[in-house]
Amino acid sequence: MKKIERNHKEKEDMLHLVGWILFVLCAIFFIASSLKNQDTLTFIGSVLFLISCLVFIIPLVRRINNSENEKTKSYNTATVADAKSRAAE
């Protein structure tokens, strides 16, 4: 059951990451538009929006990386345990 919950959480984290990346793309287009129209206020707001998006992405990426590291550790532990049991036979 825990494996199913963890798999669901990983998929949810990836969807959140995709959403934040789309927000970053929007911020970039807002910045481009503000530069084209020489709109200082929109430029400042767009840069702040971009920075805010990046602030939210950082912990999400760390959590995804930690999840991947845990998967690798559990796989390596299982592989070593299998090898030891085979060697004992």
Kindly report, residue by residue over 51-88, the tens digit of the pLDDT: 999 999 999 999 989 887 877 766 566 565 565 566 66
Residue 42: partners with Cβ closer than 8 Å, 6 or more residues away: 30, 33, 34
Note whether residue 33 is domain-resident: no
pLDDT in tens, 28-54: 999 999 999 999 999 999 999 999 999
CB 48 within 8 A of CB 55: no
Note whether residue 60 is domain-resident: yes
pLDDT value of position 8:
86
- pTM for this model (two decimals): 0.70
pLDDT value of position 4:
75
pLDDT value of position 79:
60
Note whether residue 14 is domain-resident: no
List, in sequence order, the alpha helices (H) in the chain: 2-36, 40-88
Note whether residue 79 is domain-resident: no
- The total of structural domains in the chain comes to 1
Amino acid identity, position 42:
T
